[in-house]
Amino acid sequence: MKFAIFGDIHGNIEALQAAYDAAGRAGAEKIYHLGDLGGYSPFVNEVVSFLTEHGIEGVQGNYDEAVANDREHCGCKAEEPLQEEMAHRSFAWTKSHVLPATKAFMKNLPVEITFTAEGRKIWLFHATPKKNNLYWFEDRPGKFFREMAEKGDADIMVYGHTHKPYRKEVGGKVFINAGSVGKPKDGDPRACVALIDITPQDVKAEFMRVPYDVEKAAEAIVAHGLPPYFAERLKEAR
C-alpha cells in the first residue's frame, strides 16, 4: 500500500494544492493529514474546505485543538520573545478568522487514526501518542522512541509537529516524521509530502519536495494582515 501524509499544512492553500497534485502523480492510494490546519498563513478555512472536498481524513493538531476551543495559547513553544509575540498574533488572527464550520471540523478531528496494511499496524497522531505539542525530533535518544512505541502496539508511527521530516527505526519499529506541507522548517521551502510505501518486506518513506509559488503564498500572508515575519520565515523555511 502506498499512501501520502500531509503534515502541518498551516493555512497554506498553495502548498496544499501542489502537495495534493504531487501525491496523485506519485500514485498514492490514500492521503492522510496530521493536523495543524491553520496559523501563520491565512487560508485556514480554504484548507479545511479542500480536505473536506477531497475526503482527506486526518488527526487533530495542537493548533486545531486550541483554535476550536478558544484557548489563550496555541500550545506552540517559542525560542525567543519576538517569536512568542508573533505566534500570539498569528493565533489571535486565526481565531478571529475561522468560520464556525472550520472550528467544528477541527473540534471533531480524532487525536489518532490506526489502520493495518500488509499485516502491519500504522498509528497516526500529531506530535506524540499522549501529548499533542511535544517536539519529537530525530535526535531524541533511542529510549524516548522506545517509550513512545510502548504507548501503543503499532509497528509504524507517523507524526509531524516539528516540521522536520525523518524516518528512523528503533527496536524493530518504524518512526516517520512527515515534515510540513505548508511551513517547512528544515531550510527547504518546498512543500514536504511523505510518501509511505508498505510492502510485505519493507516500509519505505520518501520525502517528496514539491515546488509551488512560495512568493505568492508569502505575499498573501502580508496582504491578509498577518505579520510579515511569517512571510520571511516561509521563504527561508525556518
Residues interacting with Fe ion, by CB under 5 A?
Answer: 36, 61-62, 161
Tell the smallest beta-carbon distance from residue 7 to Fe ion (Å): 9
Query: Can you read off the three cell numbers belonging to residue 84?
Result: 512568542
Q: Residue 61 or residue 165: which is nearer to Fe ion going by CB?
A: 61
Backbone angles phi, psi at 193, to 5 degrees: -125, 125
Least distance to Fe ion, CB of residue 1, Å: 26
Give the shortest CB-152-to-Fe ion separation in angstroms: 20
Q: Which is nearer to Fe ion, 14 or 36 (CB)?
A: 36
Cα 229–chain centre separation = 20
With DSSP H G I counted as helix, E B as strand and the rest as coil, what are the percentages for the chain, rounded to 5? 35, 25, 40
Nearer to Fe ion, 69 or 199 (CB): 69
Q: Which is nearer to Fe ion, 86 or 198 (CB)?
A: 86
Q: How far is the CB of 16 from Fe ion (least distance, A)?
A: 16
Q: How far is the CB of 167 from Fe ion (least distance, A)?
A: 19
Beta strand pairing status for 112-117 and 156-159?
A: unpaired
Q: Which is nearer to Fe ion, 103 or 117 (CB)?
A: 103
Give me the sign of the Cα torsion angle 192, 233, 221, 38. Answer: positive
Cβ–Cβ < 8 Å for 123, 154 = yes
**Shortest distance, position 78 Cβ to Fe ion, whole Å:** 13
**Phi, psi torsion values for 229, nearest 5 degrees:** -45, -40
Phi, psi (deg, nearest 5) at residue 114:
-125, 145
Which residues neighbour 212 within 8 Å (Cβ) at sequence distance 6 or greater? Answer: 14, 15, 17, 18, 190, 191
Nearer to Fe ion, 45 or 62 (CB): 62
